[in-house]
Structure 1
Amino acid sequence: MNPLVTLAGRTVVVTGAGQGIGKAIAELVVELGGNVVGIDLNGETLSAALSPLPAERVLAVQGSVADPALANRAVADAVARFGAVHGLVNNAGIIRPAMIDKMTDTQWQEVIDVHLTGSFYWMRAVGQHMIARAKEGDKSGGSVVNISSDAGRKGSIGQINYAAAKAGMLGMTMTAAREWGRYNLRANSVCFGVVETPMTEVVRGEKFRDAMLAQIPLGRWSTPEEVVRVVCFLLSDASSYVTGQHLGVNGGFHISL
């Protein structure tokens, strides 16, 4: 019996692969038979995250996702190593919280650069490769998964930069789905709620914990290992007719038509 979800023979670029959700995605991609190109600003963290995985299935690339030259170089290196790139997960993220009236230009720009502009750079670099491959007759297709957030659909007090960037990623997803469908390239977003990662430590702390959990019908946080299954589903052919969608993986925190 064939498995429902497999990434055998696929190469996936994962930004922010050094910890948390990115690390869990990289591990599951390899478990499902794929190759991983892991990107992270912190080389030591990235090496520690990827070193337990089979060396022949992994390529580690250190640098900032907000560097367009790095995106182009990483895709070229991935193609040289594995033959092609079939998937991208824009996962890298930072937070610089502040209320609107107190947010500095730097706090605003740093978050926009990583989440929004950085995601564009990687979509462009991977998209150029996948479109060229499709024009040459390769029908294997490709999939982009943008890690957005419920903050991009509901807003987030003290994080106008983050909420704006995550909302912008939804627009990029829909645009890519419309432009790239003719090449059998898909683009979808995943909107997480509160996942147990270092970036959510504050909201999971004593000050906010009870109020947050009261808004989640399932009544608990999610683990990275739990939410990344959905990401790999969207990367695989099991979701071959799904594109331009924003899938909430949030325990019911945000429910809409």
Structure 2
Amino acid sequence: MTKNMVSLEGRTVVVTGAAQGIGKATAELAIELGANVVAVDLNGAALETGLATLPAERLMKVVGSVTDAELAAKTVDDAVGRFGSVNGLVNNAGIVRPAMIEKMSAHQWQEVIDVHLTGAFLWLQAVGRHLVQRAKEGETTGGSIVNISSDAGRKGSIGQINYAAAKAGLLGMTMTAAREWGKYNIRTNSICFGVVETPMTEVVRGEKFRDGMLAQIPLGRWATPDEVVRTVCFLLSDASSYTTGQHIGVNGGFHISL
């Protein structure tokens, strides 16, 4: 039998923003590949509904805000208590508060920075502390952190300076964590998505922007959550064991660079 190179058998992965879209698809595929999943979302009802078909014995649902540092720390402790360890993190939770620069309120700016950037830091820190401690105790398996960034963080996004700035910030966070934690065999990478068919992209996929956006994508179509999360799980698995500090574009060619 051929070995599954992206197996997540026996691993526990925390996924934020897990109730819908990319987070939900990540949770589903991770469990299919053998992982236990700690699914975090602010919307408890959506979390229950969205993940209702997944096996309860391998799923831990956590309701709360990713901006809550105490929740992040407690979730890691609880996951360790239930599953024995935490091996990976997918920083996926996100919101949009669009406005042109001159019209954006300080509140709109801060809301997005808090969720996308500060929230990602808090969960990276909480999971990272656990992984570092395990390494210091002699565990050599390390771990993998995947930060969900965006092409908006590499090329800007009209009407979303808050979102673009936060996603650019994630790239710096990724590179710094990769440099600090590489000695513990903790890998940290970013994925920069283009336009994925999720509730967050309904506006840009709408009639007003559709043709213009599709004209910029060489593959000529939107991505589906199911196809883009394959790269997420690749980064969580041993198939990417020598990959860290990288920003991987999963975007149909929307952004192409050296």
TM (normalized to structure 1)?
A: 1.00
Cα displacement string for residues 150-193 of structure 1 (whole angstroms, at most 9, x for unaligned residues): 00000000000000000000000000000000000000000000
How many Å apart are 1:50 and its aligned residue?
A: 2.0
Matched, 1:238 2:239: yes
Secondary structure in 2 matching 1:5: coil
Unaligned stretches of 5+ residues in structure 1: none
The residue aligned with 2:148 is 147
The residue aligned with 1:215 is 216
The residue aligned with 1:7 is 8
Matched, 1:74 2:69: no
CA distance in 2, matches of 1:51, 1:32: 18
Unaligned stretches of 5+ residues in structure 2: none
Secondary structure in 2 matching 1:114: helix
Cα displacement string for residues 205-225 of structure 1 (whole angstroms, at most 9, x for unaligned residues): 000000000000000000000
The residue aligned with 1:133 is 134
The residue aligned with 1:38 is 39
CA distance in 2, matches of 1:87, 1:73: 16
Structure 2 counterpart of 1:118, one-letter code? G
CA distance in 2, matches of 1:49, 1:57: 15
Secondary structure in 1 matching 2:229: helix
CA distance in 2, matches of 1:34, 1:51: 17
Matched, 1:252 2:253: yes
How many Å apart are 1:51 and its aligned residue?
A: 2.0
Secondary structure in 2 matching 1:157: coil
CA distance in 1, matches of 2:35, 2:167: 27
Matched, 1:84 2:85: yes
CA distance in 2, matches of 1:64, 1:91: 12
Structure 2 counterpart of 1:245, one-letter code? Q
The residue aligned with 1:115 is 116
Matched, 1:20 2:21: yes
Q: State how many pairs are aligned.
A: 257
Q: RMSD of aligned C-alpha atoms?
A: 0.4
Cα displacement string for residues 77-131 of structure 1 (whole angstroms, at most 9, x for unaligned residues): 1000000000000000000000000000100000000000000000000000000
How many Å apart are 1:12 and its aligned residue?
A: 0.2
CA distance in 1, matches of 2:61, 2:51: 8
Secondary structure in 1 matching 2:154: helix
CA distance in 1, matches of 2:4, 2:77: 31
TM (normalized to structure 2)?
A: 0.99
